[in-house]
Structures are given as C-alpha cells and as structure tokens.
C-alpha cells in the first residue's frame, strides 16, 4: 500500500506548482519540483509497484529497494521541509535586504573572453596527457568510467568548463547589453565560438546532464525575459533530452573511434545500438537515469555505519587539490562508501542525493537540516537576484544558471557538486566580486 503514497506526493507536487504564486513563469522551486519528482517519488513508485518488473529494469541487478515506511517518510518529509524553507520569512527578508550594484559593466566582455581563453588553453593542456586533444575526446567515456588513468595534468579538467559561464556572459552582451562598444558582429562570432568550445568541454567530461542543462539555460532565459512558454520548443527539447539521456552513453562510447574519422564514429554508434538488445527505448530504461537517489536513501536509512557529521563538505573541497600537492591521499568521501554499499565495488561512482547525504551525516536530524537549509538558500538567492533581472544585463543568464546549480544539488553530494560546478561557482563568484558590489540595505526607521 505504500506505493500509492508516492502517487499522492506526485499529485501534491503538481497541485502546489500549479496553484502557488510565482515571481515569473518559472522560479527556483519550479525547477526543484520537476527534478525532485523525477529523482524521488516517480522512481520510488515504479520500484515499489514493480509494474512490468520495473524493479529489475531500474535496479540493474541491485535488489536494495524494500519499500519500507522510513523511505516513504524521508521523501515526504524532505520535500515539505524544502518547501517550508523556501517560504521561510527570514529567507525572503534577507534576500530583500541584499543590495547589488554593478560596476565596470563595459569590462564584462573582457572577463568573458578571458574565461573563454582560459577554458580553451585548459582543453589543450588537458588533452596533452592523453597524447592529443582528439585522443582525450575519443576516450572521454573511458576516462569518466575510470578505465583510463589520468596524469599530472588532469587537474586542468576543472577549468575546461569555464567556457559555459563565458558563453552565457557573451550571450548577455549579444542579446541584452544596449551600449555595445565593439562591433556587434565580432561579438556574435566570439559568442558562436564560445558555444563550440563549451560543447567540446562538455563532451570531454562525458556527462549528458551538462549538455542538456547548457542548452536548457538559453531557453529558460527566453521564458524569463519574454514571460511566455513555447510549447513547440518544450516538446522538441523534451524529445531531444529524453533520447540523449537514453542514447548519450552510446554516443560518448562511439567517440572512441574518433581518431579513425567521423564515419567510424557513426558506424560505431549504429553497430553498438544494433548489438545491444536492451537499447530499444522504453520508459523504464529512461527512468534508470534517475533511480539512484532512492537506492542511496534506502541504504542510508537501513545500513549500519558511523555518522559523517557533515565532514564530507570539507572533503569535497580537499578533493579539488591534486594529491601531489597534498602529499597525502585524502580521505574517501561519502560517495565512495555509498557506491560500495549499493553495488559492492567502485567501478563507477554513485552520488548520494541530498536526502541520503543528510541521513549519512546526522541521521534524521541531518535530513531536517539539509532539506530546510536547501530550501532557505534557494529562496534567499531567488529573492536577492530576481530584483535585477531587468536592471543588470547579465543577470537573466546568471539567475537561471544559479537556479540550475541549486536544483542540481538535490541529486548530488558535496564532492560531486563542488567538482562538477567548480568552474561555475568560481566564474560566477569572480563576476560578482569584480563587477558588482553587494551590501545589506539599511532598514528605514
């Protein structure tokens, strides 16, 4: 009977999203509602109901999900604590107090180009340890799966994704800056080049989600500025996202044939699909991409281990530092142990998701702290930034990017989050430091 509880939660999420007041066509909580539904109640329902042997399709041989009451309660409590945190009066009040003034706006273009150049150089340097940039690109899926060892230059991989915030800033100049000091055609060409570099950088990571989120950001900015939704684009982009999630791994694997030419890549892609009897598209195989947070939560709630006391936040930052500089091997993070608990080895890594991260850290109080704080931070950031959507030309892209970053933490853990968004957090952080002044507005007597 617990499986029906997930349907109730899905219905409540839809009801809340339809009838609540929003500051724009979409906001932080809109993205959270969609992503949370895909990550927790929907796969949990499929696993619990086990229609058409869904548990086997979603579990990939994992038989952990037991449909226990604690798991249901954790998902319900986690969701509503995020909502409570999001509507916290203190989050809204502090967001309203924060004042943001821009400076040196005409230099933002220079900053964007600098990020783009740094990304391009990092791509080149990163490729050197694999013999060439083409070799690194062709081995992206193997590197991600840890089948190919990295060298001393692997640290530069963190910098390759600077092309993504760079292209967002260049798009802001192209579409929203009114007083351009440089030839608009030249800026447009630089922007197109930045998109190419960003796609290359994303391909080097072998991550499907990056590419989907990258192009989704442009559409979300369109909605934000024009206050309208294109259902035609929704359908087209939705189909692209679904098929890329399903066939993305095959695509990245087919790049192993890149040194033999483009035709070899196409042939490898086609042959891999034809030889894989399980490659035919179906809903359960699609949902496989979203089911690990439920397994992680199940393990966190029902396995014996020592509480982590949020130490993984510190370990996440330490993981950015090359081991050669530390001189010691850093401690394993919770993602390492979570993967061990679920599949019994570390052939690949499984992020915990924010609910399991809270439980691993401090049991149920940890879940309460993580979810409420997560919702509070989201509303604080939204309230602070939304005021400047039409005042600061680069704010629409930065607002949307920050919303996506905040959203993505719910399927992550500190290590995955910090490493995955290092370029974004650093690039956006420097943007605010160099080109804006943030202060707390004084209360009027």
C-alpha to C-alpha distance for 392 and 398, rounded to whole angstroms: 10
Q: Which of 275, 303, 332 is the last residue of a domain?
A: 275
**Residue 111 included in any domain:** yes
The pLDDT value given to residue 382: 94
The pLDDT value given to residue 419: 87
Classify the phi-psi angles of 67: left when phi > 0, otherwise alpha if psi is within -120 to 50, otherwise beta.
left
Token pair recorded at residue 364: 């149920």
The pLDDT value given to residue 445: 40
Same domain assignment for residues 316 and 365: yes
Token pair recorded at residue 197: 């570099």
Q: Which of 227, 244, 275 is the last residue of a domain?
A: 275
Q: Rounded to 5 degrees, what are φ and ψ at 58?
A: -85, -25
CB atoms near residue 314 (< 10 Å):
13
Q: Rounded to 5 degrees, what are φ and ψ at 439?
A: -145, 165
- pLDDT tens-place string over residues 309-368: 999 999 888 888 776 666 667 788 898 889 888 887 777 788 899 999 999 999 999 999
CB atoms near residue 154 (< 10 Å):
14
Are 115 and 427 a contacting pair, CB within 8 Å? yes
Same domain assignment for residues 108 and 219: yes
The pLDDT value given to residue 381: 95
Token pair recorded at residue 149: 């060892």
CB atoms near residue 188 (< 10 Å):
15
Same domain assignment for residues 338 and 412: yes
Same domain assignment for residues 121 and 254: yes
Buried b vs exposed e over 161-171: b needs ≥16 C-beta within 10 Å? bbbbbbbbbbb
Q: Which of 223, 245, 275 is the last residue of a domain?
A: 275
Are 211 and 202 a contacting pair, CB within 8 Å? yes
The pLDDT value given to residue 1: 66
**Residue 388 included in any domain:** yes
Q: Which residues pair with 439 in a beta bridge?
A: 99
Same domain assignment for residues 57 and 94: yes
Are 392 and 168 a contacting pair, CB within 8 Å? no
Q: Rounded to 5 degrees, what are φ and ψ at 102?
A: -90, 160
Same domain assignment for residues 178 and 248: yes
Same domain assignment for residues 43 and 166: no
| CA angle, residues 98, 103, 104, in degrees to nearest 5 | 155
pTM of the model: 0.89
Residue carrying the six token digits 């684009």: 233
The string of DSSP codes covering 21-65 is --SSSS-HHHHHHHHHHHHTHHHHHHHHH-GGGHHHHHHTT----
**Residue 318 included in any domain:** yes
Token pair recorded at residue 322: 């090359």
Same domain assignment for residues 108 and 248: yes
**Residue 285 included in any domain:** no
**Residue 426 included in any domain:** yes
**Residue 259 included in any domain:** yes
Same domain assignment for residues 81 and 149: no
How many residues appear in the chain? 445
pLDDT tens-digit profile, the chain (445 residues):
677 888 999 999 999 999 998 888 889 999 999 999 999 999 888 887 766 565 555 554 555 566 788 999 999 999 999 999 999 999 999 999 888 888 777 788 999 999 999 999 998 888 887 777 777 777 766 666 565 666 666 777 888 899 999 999 999 999 888 776 778 888 899 999 999 999 888 888 767 788 888 989 998 998 888 888 777 777 887 777 777 777 766 776 676 666 676 677 677 777 776 676 555 566 667 777 788 899 899 999 988 889 999 999 998 888 887 766 666 677 888 988 898 888 877 777 888 999 999 999 999 999 999 999 999 999 999 999 999 998 888 999 999 999 999 999 998 899 889 988 999 999 999 999 888 887 777 654 4
Same domain assignment for residues 90 and 133: no
* Burial of 65 (C-beta count, 10 Å sphere; 0-12/13-18/19+): buried
Which one-letter DSSP state was computed for residue 182?
S
**Residue 162 included in any domain:** yes
The pLDDT value given to residue 377: 96
C-alpha to C-alpha distance for 341 and 303, rounded to whole angstroms: 8
Q: Which domain holds residue 198?
A: 104-275
Same domain assignment for residues 296 and 255: no
Q: Rounded to 5 degrees, what are φ and ψ at 144?
A: -65, -35
Nearest to 161 by CA among 128, 192, 130, 206: 206
Same domain assignment for residues 125 and 224: yes
Domain count, the chain: 2
CB atoms near residue 4 (< 10 Å):
11
**Residue 280 included in any domain:** no
Q: Rounded to 5 degrees, what are φ and ψ at 35?
A: -70, -40
């Amino acid at each position: 009977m617990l499986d029906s509880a997930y349907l109730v939660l899905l219905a409540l999420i839809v009801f809340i999203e339809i009838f609540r007041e929003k500051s724009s066509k979409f906001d932080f909580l809109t993205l959270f509602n969609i992503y949370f539904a895909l990550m927790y109640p929907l796969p949990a329902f499929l696993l619990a109901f086990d229609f058409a042997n869904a548990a086997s399709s979603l579990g990939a041989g994992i038989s952990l999900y037991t449909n226990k009451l604690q798991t249901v309660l954790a998902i319900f409590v986690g969701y509503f604590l995020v909502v409570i945190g999001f509507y916290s009066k203190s989050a809204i009040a502090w967001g309203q107090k924060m004042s943001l003034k821009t400076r040196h706006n005409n230099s933002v273009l220079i900053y964007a180009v600098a990020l783009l150049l740094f990304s391009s150089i990092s791509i080149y340097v990163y490729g050197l340890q694999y013999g060439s940039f083409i070799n690194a690109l062709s081995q992206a899926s193997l590197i991600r799966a840890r089948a190919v060892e990295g060298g001393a230059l692997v640290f530069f991989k963190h910098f390759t994704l600077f092309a993504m915030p760079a292209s967002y800033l260049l798009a802001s100049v192209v579409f929203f800056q009114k007083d351009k000091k440089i030839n608009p055609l030249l800026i447009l060409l630089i922007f197109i080049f930045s998109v190419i570099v960003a796609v290359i950088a994303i391909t080097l990571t072998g991550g499907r989600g990056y590419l989907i989120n990258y192009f989704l950001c442009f559409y979300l900015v369109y909605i934000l500025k024009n206050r309208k939704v294109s259902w035609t684009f929704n359908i087209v982009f939705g189909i692209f996202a679904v098929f890329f999630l399903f066939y993305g791994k095959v695509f990245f694997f087919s790049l192993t044939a890149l040194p033999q030419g483009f035709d070899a890549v196409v042939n490898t892609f086609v042959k891999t699909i034809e030889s894989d009897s399980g490659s035919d598209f179906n809903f359960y195989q699609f949902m496989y991409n979203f089911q690990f947070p439920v397994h992680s939560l199940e393990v966190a709630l029902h396995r014996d281990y020592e509480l982590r006391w949020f130490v993984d936040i510190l370990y996440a930052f330490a993981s950015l530092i090359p081991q050669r500089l530390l001189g010691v091997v850093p401690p394993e993070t919770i993602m390492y142990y979570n993967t061990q608990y679920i599949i019994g080895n570390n052939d690949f890594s499984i992020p915990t998701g924010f609910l399991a991260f809270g439980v691993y850290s401090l049991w149920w109080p940890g879940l309460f702290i993580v979810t409420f704080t997560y919702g509070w931070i989201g509303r604080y950031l939204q309230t602070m930034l939304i005021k400047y959507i039409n005042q600061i030309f680069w704010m629409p892209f930065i607002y949307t990017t920050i919303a996506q970053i905040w959203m993505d933490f719910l399927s992550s853990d500190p290590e995955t989050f910090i490493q995955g968004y290092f370029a974004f957090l650093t690039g956006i952080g420097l943007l605010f430091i160099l080109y804006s002044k943030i202060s707390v507005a004084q209360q009027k007597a």
